[in-house]
Amino acid sequence: MEPNKPCWCGSGKKYKKCHKNFDEKLHILKMQGHIVPDHSLIKTPEQIRMIRRSADLNTAVLDQVAAAIRPGMTTQEIDDIVYTFTTENGGIPAPLNYEGFPKSVCTSINDQICHGIPSEYDVLEEGDIVNVDVSTILDGYFSDASRMFAIGEVSDEAKRLIKVTEECVELGLAQARPWGFLGDIGEAVNTHATANGCSVVRDIGGHGVGLEFHEDPFVSYVTRKGTEMVMAPGMMFTIEPMINAGTYEYTVDEDNGWTVYTADGMLSAQIEYMVLITEDGVEVLTK
């Protein structure tokens, strides 16, 4: 771009005072053989402002679930909470009718890795662990997060798995920094999980988010440090490793085509943050 033209990011500043150095740095990294984001993956200041509003609602929805979840509750009741609170506050549950998904939230119990479909027949029992994955559209902008819930008193194995998963997410978050690499996050997650006798699901991972439900890049958690896409300021994506107590291998429910199970029937846990890479670090938008 011409240096004195308005910057492509919509800030209103001249290009030379805004993203000129940014683009030059990306060009150098690309010439060095690294994968770099294009402008479509860099959120503008106005987009970030609107996505934060969606993220705030998404967090409030999860808080509603956290306040209500209990033994004896059906996963359909969780879906009802998510749908009602989201729509009453001007939002749309992003999963509802997404590529045919029939509900407003994913509820994945015990050996279900992800994409569990709420049902009036699935009753949460003492000792269960469940991942509740909430995604919200507000004024056309998307947000995403999930939490693990222990139902009543759970086994030591379940407590340990949730703890390791929490640690994996925090260690991955610590590697999310401007001009680092997505592979840095993956190595931190995978190293900690395997050191604790767990495995990381390989084919399902994080993703860009904000303008769409799922955007580039794909965020793997079994990658090596110094590899994958450069994390440039303005990028937005999820950190959501799926940690299994046993094998990383999985099966998909043949009847509904959605729910993913551990191949060995052992427990799985997932926690999801949505993050924004900033000029000097990382901002957690949802958790």
For 145-170, write each residue's pLDDT tens digit.
999 999 999 999 999 999 999 999 99
Residue of 159, 154, 115 lying closest to 250 (CA atoms): 115
C-alpha–C-alpha distance, residues 233 and 58, integer Å: 23
Q: Is the pLDDT of residue 84 over 90?
A: yes
**Average pLDDT across the chain, whole number:** 97
Interval 193-214 mean pLDDT? 98
CATH number of 15-286: 3.90.230.10
CB 89 within 8 A of CB 64: no
Length of the chain: 287
Which value, to the nearest 10 degrees, does the dihedral of the CA atoms of residues 145, 148, 152, 153 take? -160
Interval 122-141 mean pLDDT? 98
For 218-261, write each residue's pLDDT tens digit.
999 999 999 999 999 999 999 999 999 999 999 999 999 999 99
**Percent of residues, the chain, with pLDDT higher than 70:** 100
For 18-69, write each residue's pLDDT tens digit.
999 999 999 999 999 999 999 999 999 999 999 999 999 999 999 999 999 9
Q: In the structure encoding, which two tokens stand for residue 36, read together?
A: 């770099």
Q: In the structure encoding, which two tokens stand for residue 244, read together?
A: 């299994």
Q: Is the pLDDT of residue 79 over 90?
A: yes
Please, which residues have CB within 8 angstroms of residue 24's CB and are 6 or more apart in sequence?
none
Q: Give the pLDDT score at 1.
A: 82
C-alpha–C-alpha distance, residues 275 and 54, integer Å: 13
β-sheet bridge partners, residue 106: 133
Print burial letters for 208-229: b (CB count within 10 Å at least 16), e (below 16): bbbbebbbebbbbbbbeeeebb
Q: 92-100: long-range contacts (C-beta < 8 A, 24 or more apart)?
A: 92/136, 92/137, 92/138, 93/134, 93/135, 93/136, 93/137, 94/135, 94/136, 94/137, 94/142, 94/144, 94/213, 95/133, 95/135, 98/213
Residue of 131, 268, 266 lying closest to 193 (CA atoms): 268
Q: Give the pLDDT score at 69.
A: 98
Q: Which one-letter amino acid corresponds to residue 43? A: K
Secondary structure class of 35 (helix, strand, coil): strand
Q: Which one-letter amino acid corresponds to residue 259? A: T
| Residue extents of the structural domains in the chain | 15-286
Task: Calculate ∠ Cα 221-223-224, nearest 5°.
Answer: 135
Q: Give the pLDDT score at 169.
A: 98
Residue of 56, 81, 59 lying closest to 70 (CA atoms): 81
CB 176 within 8 A of CB 97: no
Q: Give the pLDDT score at 261.
A: 98
Interval 74-94 mean pLDDT? 98
